[in-house]
């Protein structure tokens, strides 16, 4: 289901560049033993890759590719951003966390690798950016993550 603020036409416009490189993303996923965790996370045109925890400790690590409008006010032009993240949830017996509906605190880090990549997306450049993202993401450790404050 498209993000509530997007028309079907806008959603299709934003997702098309990702569909065009899905085979490149799938090749990267296969070669690096990753999981294509989700397409269009929360209804926004994106691809989210999971780095398997068993390989690099118990942090959840991932790479996100997301498209957006270059000019959000005019809703025109399309670009792509690649970012990496890592997080871990730790028990907390004092505060209920309404985001993940548990007595856990989330510790998180996020880093943008490439921002506003022009569309159409070049598969070779995407693959190279994914390689860079993968190297950075697998280096994240518990000392890098910070508690997320929920208000």
CA dist 28 → 49, 73, 81 (Å): 10, 34, 17
Lowest mean pLDDT among 33-42, 72-81, 112-121: 72-81
Q: Where are the domains of the chain?
A: 8-147
Asked if residue 148 lies in contact with residue 109, where contact means CB atoms within 8 angstroms, the answer is: no
Beta strands in the chain (DSSP E): 35-39, 46-51, 60-71, 76-91, 104-118, 146-147
User: Quick one: pLDDT band at residue 76, thresholds 50, 70, 90?
Assistant: low
pTM: 0.84
Residue 12, both tokens: 């299709």
Q: How far is CA 82 from the centre of its chain?
A: 7
Residue 96 reports pLDDT greater than 70: no
């Amino acid at each position: 289901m498209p993000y509530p603020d997007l028309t079907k036409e806008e959603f299709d416009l934003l997702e098309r560049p990702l569909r065009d490189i899905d085979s490149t993303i799938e090749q990267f996923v296969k070669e690096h033993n990753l999981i294509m965790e989700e397409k269009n996370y929360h209804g926004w045109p994106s691809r989210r890759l999971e780095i398997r925890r068993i390989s690099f400790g118990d942090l959840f690590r991932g790479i996100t590719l997301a498209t957006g409008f270059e000019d959000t006010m005019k809703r025109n032009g399309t670009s792509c951003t690649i970012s990496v993240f890592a997080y871990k949830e730790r028990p907390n017996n004092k505060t209920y966390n309404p985001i993940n509906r548990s007595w856990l605190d989330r510790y998180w880090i996020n880093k943008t690798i490439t921002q506003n990549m022009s569309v159409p997306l070049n598969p070779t450049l995407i693959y190279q950016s994914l390689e860079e993202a993968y190297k950075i993401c697998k280096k994240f450790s518990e000392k890098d993550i910070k508690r997320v404050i929920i208000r």
